[in-house]
Structure formats: structure tokens, C-alpha cells
């Protein structure tokens, strides 16, 4: 199990806290320190599409110019943005063996994924 995100993101912090409190085994991948492999980003785009992977409510997206936003029309054009500005990715992303299990943090979803009984 791998959790992708940025250390100082509040939602990532909530997910990591939950995982640690429930002694769930996972690896953390920090986009800021470790980057993002193009093949992995492409895999995610194929699974859920750019509309679901890009956080259009976040500061990074809002900081783009209108022209930059207009360029993003499909998975191919989104790939460049994801690789250049990893903070535009919704987070955290929970992944196992290349399959995205969940985006964001939701206690109920994590309980199901990790078979945790409250």
C-alpha cells in the first residue's frame, strides 16, 4: 500500500494519522521530495481521468493563468501539468499495485479498504 501526497497538506496529515493509529502498513511518497514518474501519472489518468485527478479547487490550479487552464482538455495535456506541478493533484492518493484505491481521505472508506472494524 502506498500513500501519495505532500507532507504539509492537512488532508494527507489526517490520512497518515489514521493509518498510523490503526497500525496499517503503508509507504509514503512525498511528491515534493520524490517527484512523480510519468508512467505512474499516466496510469492514474487512464484509471480515473484528468477531471478526477486535478484539484481544481486548490491554490495551485487557481494560480494558473486562464490560458494555462484552457490548455488542459484531456489526459495528454493534463499529464504535463501533473508532472510540472504535482501540488495540483488531489491528495492523498492511496494506491496498491498500480491501482488507485481512494483519492482524498474518508474514514469510512479507509475502514473498508483496510478491513478495520470500528
Overall CATH class of domain 2-113 = alpha beta
Domain range list for the chain: 2-113
Q: What is the pLDDT of residue 103?
A: 96
**pLDDT tens per residue across all 118 residues of the chain:** 999 999 999 999 999 999 999 999 999 999 999 999 999 999 999 999 999 999 999 999 999 999 999 999 999 999 999 999 999 999 999 999 889 999 999 999 999 999 887 6
Q: Is 9 a catalytic residue?
A: yes
Q: What is the pLDDT of residue 118?
A: 65
Q: What is the pLDDT of residue 12?
A: 97
State the Cα–Cα distance between residues 47 and 98, nearest whole angstrom: 10
Quote the radius of gyration of the chain (alpha carbons, Å). 14
- Of residues 9, 15, 72, 89, which has the active-site annotation? 9
DSSP states of 37-80 as a string? -HHHHHHHHHHH-HHHHB-TTSHHHHTS-HHHHHH--SHHHHHH
Amino acid at each position: 500500500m502506498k500513500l501519495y501526497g505532500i507532507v504539509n497538506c492537512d488532508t494527507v496529515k489526517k490520512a497518515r494519522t489514521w493509518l498510523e493509529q490503526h497500525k496499517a502498513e503503508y509507504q509514503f511518497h512525498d511528491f515534493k521530495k520524490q517527484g512523480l514518474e510519468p508512467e505512474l501519472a499516466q496510469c492514474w489518468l487512464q484509471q480515473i481521468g484528468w477531471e478526477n485527478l486535478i484539484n481544481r479547487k486548490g491554490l495551485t490550479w487557481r494560480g494558473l493563468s486562464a490560458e494555462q487552464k484552457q490548455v488542459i482538455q484531456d489526459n495528454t495535456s493534463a499529464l504535463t501539468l501533473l508532472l510540472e506541478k504535482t501540488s495540483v493533484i488531489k491528495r492523498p492518493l492511496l494506491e496498491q499495485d498500480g491501482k488507485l484505491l481512494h483519492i482524498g481521505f474518508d474514514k469510512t472508506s479507509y475502514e473498508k479498504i483496510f478491513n478495520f472494524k470500528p
